[in-house]
Structure 1
Amino acid sequence: MSEKTFDLGWGDEEEPETTADTLTAVDTTRDAQRQQTQAQLIAEHVEAAVEAARPGLDKIPDPVEPAGDGDLTADEKERLDLCIGGVDLLSTAFWVAGKSLDTMATGRLFRRLPHKLEPERYYETIEEWAWLEHGIKQSRCSKLRAAWPLGEVLSARGYNAPEGQVRELVPLKNRYGLNAGVAMYEVAVQQYGADKVTAGGLRDLVKLLPEELALQDDEDADQIARMLQGVVENAEPKELPASTGIPAAVRRSVDRRALALADTLNRSRIPRAEVERHLLEAFADPEDTTVFDAVLERMRKQKQPK
């Protein structure tokens, strides 16, 4: 009987590697599909976030009559939030417009824009383009261009500074640099509170500064703010001439007493206006009539016949 050789193998020797390659390819395909799905979800989330953040009139609810005289309904509260957000965009819009104008002007990006009234030629200045295309006067264009850097930095610091407030600081920024303007706003926040800063308050603080400030180029806004805070606290307000009804001797006595008060409070000096303000507040205090009573007694004595 001849011997027979039986092949009991399950395939050729290359088959195990082929199977492993197949499994690897399946895993790779699954990973690619998973990554593609994740990327699609991320893109959808980003698109939704961009749409939610996009400003526009279509996002502001139309005016309707109130639901009642009492507390706001849930729908009214939602409408209120949308409206407040729309108003808050106003300050940001100023700086977006200002920066856009400045970028266009600096790079002369308008140089190939056809003139609105004379299409055969191009705009020659940013002011010409801004006025004819958007009704922005030359003076306003200049103010927007000058103010946007301050508005941008203050916004980054969390302040919603209106255009009128920032304009009060532009001369300071033009003279001493951007950080000086930012620092002055920080001083105003310390003086009045972040929610009580006004254009008038900023104007008053700037008036207290001397004609020349010793500012270093390498100082940051916070360093400058600390210096300006000290300047403001020790500044002599620009007051009207003293009333001739107050004798000079009395004014000198007031100044001496103010110096004594400053020593007690560990301050270098106290402006006369600050003393007067405290005196008037104490005189008008309905709960503590000490000053009022003292003034009353002095006036009674002066009226008594000698």
Structure 2
Amino acid sequence: MKDFDLDGWDDDDASSDAAASLARTAAQIEEERQKLTEQALAERITAAVAAARPGLDKIPAPTGPAGTGELTEGEKESLDACVAGIELLSTATWVAGKSLDTMATGRLFRKIPHKLEPERCYKTIEEWAEIEHGISRSRCSQLRDGWELGELLTACGYKAPEGQVRELVPFRNKHGLKAAVGVYEMVVQAVGADKVTAKRLRETVKLFPGDLALSDDDDAQVIAQSLAGAIEGAKPPTPQPSNALPDRLKRDVDRRSVMLADRLDRKRIPRSEILTHLLTAFVDDQDSRVFDVVVERMRTG
């Protein structure tokens, strides 16, 4: 029998090598599993972003109604998608306005070559917006003027479309950003958020007195209360109904009362006594002559 040479064989070394090999295998398995987990997470994130991303592909193509009654489940889904798309308009408006304002303030357009005159760069944000994106100068100003108020109203939880914000921009320019938000909140408190309209905001602003003084340091809620008080103070007092007779009618009544006193052989008859008899005759159910005369006079004016 051949003897095997066992010299140099070290049991401790063999155990160490085996342990190291197993450790490397476990680490590789863990690394691969971690990669798979990260990949799955990345795929889920990508899918979620794609689902949330607005776009024309998310809006169903126009089709005729499915019927004349209640909406089908498919129609309800289409309605929700369309309403969400329309509500994006306000957000897109404020995004565009803020972008234009940021570009204008920092003159970030100053090194962009002019599309029609490449030898020079754009001189103003209005020029860049009009040439590059077809945004007129007036529209550019509207977008820049409204974005800050629109952004703040959105942050407060209001879905204020551009038309509503535009009604408050002059007021904001005069009294400050918080004051404009205060006007909006005052109208919300009066009629409810779902009933705020551009017309209502415009009419509300007209009610404020010309000497209105506000502090932009106050909270919008405090400003809203101040504005409500200012409107109340600016309203002319409601005239109280008067029972007094016009002077000319008084003279005629006095003249006829003298004639009446003569017929009844009395010195004088007070006006109150005449009024009592007239009202008694007016309500007489057995004799409607006075009532009929009054009706005819009121009918003919």
TM-score for both structures, normalised by structure 2: 0.70
Aligned letter for 1:127?
A: E
Relative to 1, partners in 2 of residues 1:11 and 1:102: Cα closer, same or farther, differing over 3 Å? same
Q: Percent identity?
A: 55
Partner of 2:250: none
What do you get for the CA RMSD once the two structures are aligned? Answer: 3.3
Q: Which runs of 5+ in 1 are unaligned?
A: 1-6, 240-250, 256-295
3-state SS of 2:12 partner: coil
- What whole-Å deviation, never above 9, does each CA across 1:107-146 have from its counterpart, x for those lacking one? 2121122223222221111111212222222122111101
Partner of 1:236: 234
- What whole-Å deviation, never above 9, does each CA across 1:3-53 have from its counterpart, x for those lacking one? xxxx9xx95335555555445444443443333223222222221222122
Q: Within 5 A, what are the aligned runs for 1:187-266?
A: 187-232=186-231, 234-237=232-235, 252-254=239-241
Relative to 1, partners in 2 of residues 1:301 and 1:71: Cα closer, same or farther, differing over 3 Å? same
Give the Cα separation in 2 of the matches to 1:252 and 1:76: 55
Offset at residue 202 of structure 1 (A): 0.8
Give the Cα separation in 2 of the matches to 1:188 and 1:115: 46
Aligned letter for 1:303?
A: V
Q: Within 5 A, what are the aligned runs for 1:22-101?
A: 22-101=21-100
Give the Cα separation in 1 of the matches to 2:293 and 2:225: 47
Relative to 1, partners in 2 of residues 1:20 and 1:214: Cα closer, same or farther, differing over 3 Å? farther
Give the Cα separation in 1 of the matches to 2:241 and 2:45: 66
Range moving further from structure 2, 200-209 or 24-33 = 24-33
Q: How many residues align?
A: 246
Aligned letter for 1:228?
A: L
Offset at residue 217 of structure 1 (A): 4.1
Partner of 2:294: 303
Offset at residue 176 of structure 1 (A): 2.8
Aligned letter for 1:208?
A: L
3-state SS of 2:146 partner: helix
Give the Cα separation in 2 of the matches to 1:43 and 1:70: 44
Relative to 1, partners in 2 of residues 1:216 and 1:24: Cα closer, same or farther, differing over 3 Å? farther
Aligned letter for 1:253?
A: Q
Larger Rg, first or second structure (1 or 2): 2
